[in-house]
Amino acid sequence: MAAFTAALALSVTGGTVASPAFADPPETDKTPTARGYGGAVSTVDPEASAAAIEVLGEGGNAADAAVAAAATLGVTEPYSAGIGGGGYFLFYNAETGKVGTIDGRETAPAAMPHDAFIDPATGEPYRFTPELVTSGVSVGVPGTPATWERALDEWGTLSLGEALEPAIDVAKRGFVVDETFRQQTLDNELRFEAFTSTSSLFLPDGDAPAVGSTFKNPDLAKTYRLLAKEGTDAFYGGPLAEEIAATVQDPPKTATTPLPVPVGHMTTEDLAEYRALDQAPTHVEYRGLDVYGMAPSSSGGTTVGEALNILDTVNLSEMSTPDALHHYLEASALAFADRGKYVGDPAFVDVPTDVLTDLLFGKERACHIDPQRAAVKPVDPGDVSAYDGVCPASAAAPANEADTENISTTNLTVADTWGNVVEYTLTIEQTGGSGIVVPGRGFLLNNELTDFSTVYDPADPNRIDPGKRPRSSMSPTIILEDGEPFLALGSPGGSTIITTVLQTIMNRVDLGMDLPEAIAAPRAAQRNTATVTSEPEFIDAYESELAPYGHELTPSGDSFTSAAEIGAATAIEFMPDGSMLAAAEPARRGGGSAMVLEPAR
């Protein structure tokens, strides 16, 4: 494979990748929709999409292009994803017709105690934000480098070094800072100021980089070059592993920070022992389509799948919009009740994945939906040991859980000319992760372990245990129709990932929207809570129509971030004429970037 510095002028919908590729930051104007042939990509960022298109244009496949795009997102979206984090990778293999998955979730260190999130000074849990999330104790062993290597070994054609080339170029020559990047930096100021390594990288001269300035990350370029040369052994072993463990155990705190920064327990052995895991996907049939998702340790596949099974019992397309939305919200609440009760890392917990994705179980859960009236939340979980699909439905004791997931992460969708498809969600947990940059290495460490339940309860499938993977909501999804790709989609957004993917599928499959409309439509998330978390536009459009059912809508967003958005989806639809329709957000997170290799044929 020729080096990516080779001159190559590619005409892509959404702007032109200049020749020589990657010498300068590309035009920042983004196009959220692109339709064409030969390969397609959708990400939140034009640099990442351009990297994927570059790889596809050079003859790489979807797995190669996905790794190139993900590595570039590690540069341009460093607060959402990178080698300090983890994620879940889905691959539709056109040759075998099968969907495979890689679980690259971060993992708790072997020495993590059950009371890791309890402040020894008070005996009470650390305050979640900003104290617990800004800590060494929240850092899980990163899975992203292992995921990239595994995906390339299993499905790709490039070496890791080749796939990292576009990202190395972007890290070296820099990218243009946009409003979102500056705002995310400002949102994290207190946390970034807490560490010498982070403030010098992301708050140069004491301020967030200005909009329009060029942000370079030579340290990250060097780290990527190291991985390119030596493979991921240089991450999970050697000096870098020692530095990661040392940083977690003794974060480089500034003298003036008011944050306590609880230290972590990660060792070089934890890093050496990390493995990305091959896994069977979850599968449900929805309106005759085959929907594949991510199995536990993510709750994405089971929860989206169960909700679809519940909705499959009714005909949404014949309902009024408020009736359809009411069913969507109720199905989601029921599936979230089961998520809380049953889903955790299957290496530690007996997760009834088959039952949760069983149509019969979904049918019985659907008995709880009153077509006229919203149930009082939280609703109880179902009984996975006794169900027959017949009303009345059995119930189990409720789970005790609080939703502490944050809203960050990034997602990408890639397809190639051979028909292979990748759906990949990756994260460092919340925007800015733990806030801790490994000194001199240019990347942030995750705070994914905050996805565990804060307080230890032996009955909780998501309790902290050493060596365990915290439950995720990431829901990369690939949908086939008659064995061929129909739609691939995913989103960031903590537990609203699940509702975003579910709502987008419903919008596209049932409510008569095309893919760009399905993504742009205002969102609401019912996660088995008293009120429905809703974007302001959703409240404006549906509040009065949903009130008669008893749904109370409350605005999304929190006091620590400036965004009131739910999710930031990317997707590709495979059109009947053989073209690919790549779609990203038109507005959320400043808009995403869709590109195709050949706009016309």
In this chain, which of 306, 405, 460, 465 binds ligand GLU, going by CB under 6 A? Answer: 405
Write down the least CB distance from residue 110 to ligand GLU, Å. 21
To the question of whether residue 472 is assigned a binding role by annotation, the answer is yes
Residue 426 CA to residue 181 CA, distance in Å, equals 18
Site membership for ligand GLU, residue 474 (CB under 6 A): yes
To the question of whether residue 434 is assigned a binding role by annotation, the answer is no
Residues 6+ apart with CB under 8 A from 482: none
Burial 525-558 (b: 16+ CB within 10 A, else e): bbbbeeebbbbebbbebbeeebeebebebeebbe
Residue 347 CA to residue 351 CA, distance in Å, equals 9
Q: Are the CB atoms for 261 and 67 separated by under 8 Å? A: no
432-451 footprint of ligand GLU as x/- string (CB under 6 A)? ----------------x--x
Site membership for ligand GLU, residue 462 (CB under 6 A): no
Write down the least CB distance from residue 161 to ligand GLU, Å. 28
Residue 29 CA to residue 26 CA, distance in Å, equals 9
Amino acid at 548: P
Write down the least CB distance from residue 358 to ligand GLU, Å. 23
Site membership for ligand GLU, residue 453 (CB under 6 A): no
Q: Catalytic positions, please? A: 409
In this chain, which of 492, 516, 591, 592 binds ligand GLU, going by CB under 6 A? Answer: 492
- Concatenating the DSSP letter of every residue in 430-479 gives STTTTS-BPTTT--BPP-GGGGS-SS--TT-TT---TTPPPPB----EEE
Site membership for ligand GLU, residue 427 (CB under 6 A): yes
Q: Is 177 or 566 the residue whose CB approaches ligand GLU more closely?
A: 566
Site membership for ligand GLU, residue 585 (CB under 6 A): no
Residue 562 CA to residue 52 CA, distance in Å, equals 30
Cα distances (Å, whole numbers) of residue 564 to 280, 538, 555, 560, 568: 35, 11, 7, 11, 12
Write down the least CB distance from residue 564 to ligand GLU, Å. 15
Q: Is 450 or 579 the residue whose CB approaches ligand GLU more closely?
A: 450
To the question of whether residue 416 is assigned a binding role by annotation, the answer is no
Write down the least CB distance from residue 49 to ligand GLU, Å. 20
Closest CA to 594 of 564, 576, 568, 563: 568
Q: What are phi and psi of 278, to 5 degrees?
A: -75, 140
Q: Is 199 or 462 the residue whose CB approaches ligand GLU more closely?
A: 462
Closest CA to 131 of 187, 184, 191: 191
Write down the least CB distance from residue 451 to ligand GLU, Å. 5
Q: Is 36 or 492 the residue whose CB approaches ligand GLU more closely?
A: 492
In this chain, which of 282, 406, 534, 556 binds ligand GLU, going by CB under 6 A? Answer: 406
Residue 313 CA to residue 323 CA, distance in Å, equals 14
Amino acid at 155: W
Site membership for ligand GLU, residue 140 (CB under 6 A): no
Q: Show the tokens assigned to 185.
A: 């930096």
In this chain, which of 435, 494, 516, 591 binds ligand GLU, going by CB under 6 A? Answer: 494
In this chain, which of 232, 408, 533, 561 binds ligand GLU, going by CB under 6 A? Answer: 408
Helix (H, G, I), strand (E, B) or coil at 68: helix
To the question of whether residue 105 is assigned a binding role by annotation, the answer is yes
Site membership for ligand GLU, residue 473 (CB under 6 A): yes
Site membership for ligand GLU, residue 472 (CB under 6 A): yes
Helix (H, G, I), strand (E, B) or coil at 152: helix
Write down the least CB distance from residue 310 to ligand GLU, Å. 21
Site membership for ligand GLU, residue 407 (CB under 6 A): yes
To the question of whether residue 298 is assigned a binding role by annotation, the answer is no
Residue 428 CA to residue 172 CA, distance in Å, equals 22
Site membership for ligand GLU, residue 393 (CB under 6 A): no
Contact positions vs ligand GLU (CB under 6 A):
405-409, 427, 429, 448, 451, 472-474, 492-494, 497
Mark the binding-site residues for L-glutamate, compressed into ranges: 105, 451, 472-473, 494
